[in-house]
Amino acid sequence: MFSKILIANRGEIAVRVIRACRELGIASVAVYSEPDRRALHVRLADEAVAIGPAAASESYLNIERVLAAARAAGAQAVHPGYGFLAENALFARAVAEAGLTFIGPPAEAIAAMGDKAAARERMAAAGVPVLPGWQGADDDATLRAAAGEIGYPLIVKPAAGGGGKGMRVVNQACDLDEAAGASRREAMAAFGDARLILERYIPHAHHIEYQVLADRRRVLHLFERECSIQRRYQKIIEESPSPTLDASQRACMGATAVAAAHAAGYSNAGTVEFIVDPGSGSYYFLEMNTRLQVEHPITELVVGLDLVQWQIRVAAGEELPFRQEDLTQRGHAIECRLYAEDPANAFIPAAGPLAHFIEPAGPGVRVDSGAATGDEIPVFYDPLIAKLIVHAEDRPAAIRRMEAALGETVLLGIPTNWQFLRDVLGHPDFRAARAHTTWVDEELAGWRPPPCELPPEVLAAAALSEAQILQAGAVAVLPEAGTSPLSDPYSPWRIANGFRVGG
């Protein structure tokens, strides 16, 4: 087992890995950019090393600086978390070449699954169902011809990268050239690779993903997660088990996920993602995430395994001591992602000081957070503040527990999606498991938070507070006519509470 691990990430996932290391008796090394020098993951780690300025390209994405930090700290292994360098095959190779262990899959598996065009071909060859589509030459004329054979609607995707960047839905042929051009530009800016693929688009689909875990001998699946509640192709609420699958579908998709991982030559933790056509019940390979997922806690709760610890143990050479038949799903888990963003304004990210953060607690409630009261949510990175996770005996109980946990959560100082999450949970479509991948865009496009009408008790308390401030600076007698306003206890010029003209 390792004695010291460097965590090549920040925020919530860095804190999660630090805690897993602590339980295994492993020293943790954090890295940080200049804006993160006082961040929670830096405060919690056993050691912390500065790696550069705010720009991710000069800090968290800078392979040389990350490896230099690992060497300086004497780390034996590197955990990439998710995002940043987690699915970068060059980084995985560089870690190995530096004599360190990369806590994740082989670089070859990362490269194979990171290229969506190559991944489609590999999965089709392995008998994994893929959406009708096109990968290959992607000049405008070829794409037009391929689109005519696939049929509309279809989706244009960058062959590299992920996270929904560069994806465009095209409903008719006359829109294809413009969508392809926009997708190429965004793909080049985000991934340095402008290649495109086409896939048939399934409206109102369900997004189901399977957690896989593999050692050097075998691949197991840890069942599914329902991830259809999304905005801008990114998930905000996930649950397990999926309320849309029956036992037969669950077993069939699990076996397919294992086959996909085998085809990729996979080891360690990863996720195989599928799109499910609600009309036919057919499912299709979407992509494989060669890393830990943001939503891994719900799998941990229903299966009873610590995925981060098993990532570390497998990377250290341990074999999985359980078999597929030993794994079962127990109860129901839901995760809500608490973001610093404005849902009423196209989910624009927010930044600034987190003035007050109270986390909920209680049986079946877990919070994976990357910030605390007084911390700054920087403008430079993903605005995820925390993940709120609950576990209960069944789905209705889990929904009630999540509603209660959100009700106990306090987030002040910056805009967040707190109220939006509460409204999704309370919506009849969510409760009846009717929500799909475009449901947020279609049903909640005009969402606005409810008006904030303060009750009379709050207004009375505020008035008493102001009166106490006034009295604290008051003189014994009321001022006479003609005296200075500074001697008037009711003059705004005596109040030291931030008053300013026009303020």
Q: How far is CA 456 from CA 195, 410, 459, in A?
A: 60, 21, 5
Q: What is the mean pLDDT of the chain?
A: 93
- Model pLDDT, residue 475: 46
Instruction: Classify residue 134 as exposed, middle or buried by CB count within 10 Å of its CB (0-12, 13-18, 19+).
Output: buried
- Model pLDDT, residue 192: 85
202-206, 234-238, 455-459: least confidently modelled range? 455-459
pLDDT tens string 371-417? 999 999 999 999 999 999 999 999 999 999 999 999 999 999 999 99
Q: Which amino acid is at 189?
A: A
d(C-alpha 412, C-alpha 354), whole Å: 6
- Report the pLDDT averaged over residues 83-108: 97
Gyration radius from the chain CA atoms: 26
**51 near 59, Cβ under 8 Å?**
yes
Query: Cα angle at 367 between 361 and 368, to 5 degrees?
Result: 160
**2 near 316, Cβ under 8 Å?**
yes
22-31, 73-82, 487-496: least confidently modelled range? 487-496
d(C-alpha 170, C-alpha 13), whole Å: 35
Residue, of 370 and 478, whose pLDDT is higher: 370
**63 near 94, Cβ under 8 Å?**
yes
Closest C-alpha to 296, from 364, 394, 218, 389: 389
d(C-alpha 376, C-alpha 404), whole Å: 27
pLDDT tens string 440-498? 999 999 999 988 778 889 889 988 888 887 676 554 445 555 556 556 656 666 655 66
d(C-alpha 361, C-alpha 107), whole Å: 40
- Residue count of the chain: 503
d(C-alpha 257, C-alpha 452), whole Å: 47
- Model pLDDT, residue 162: 72
Looking up tokens 């609420």 gives 237
**Dihedral sign of CA atoms 122, 123, 125, 126 in order:** positive
Looking up tokens 């049903």 gives 443
End-to-end CA distance of the chain: 59
**267 near 215, Cβ under 8 Å?**
yes
Closest C-alpha to 179, from 213, 156, 147, 202: 156
- Model pLDDT, residue 466: 80
d(C-alpha 319, C-alpha 42), whole Å: 32
Looking up tokens 């830990």 gives 292
- Model pLDDT, residue 429: 97
- Model pLDDT, residue 11: 97
Closest C-alpha to 212, from 246, 263, 277, 249: 263
DSSP calls for 138-152? -SHHHHHHHHHHH-S
Peptide bond into 451 cis (omega under 30): no
Q: How far is CA 87 from CA 91, 115, 160, 205, 272, in A?
A: 8, 11, 11, 26, 14
pTM: 0.88
d(C-alpha 156, C-alpha 331), whole Å: 38
- Model pLDDT, residue 472: 66
190-204, 211-225, 479-493: least confidently modelled range? 479-493
- Model pLDDT, residue 232: 83
- Model pLDDT, residue 481: 57
- Model pLDDT, residue 476: 44
- Model pLDDT, residue 455: 85
Peptide bond into 203 cis (omega under 30): no
Inter-axis angle of helices 296-303 and 307-315, to 10 degrees? Answer: 90
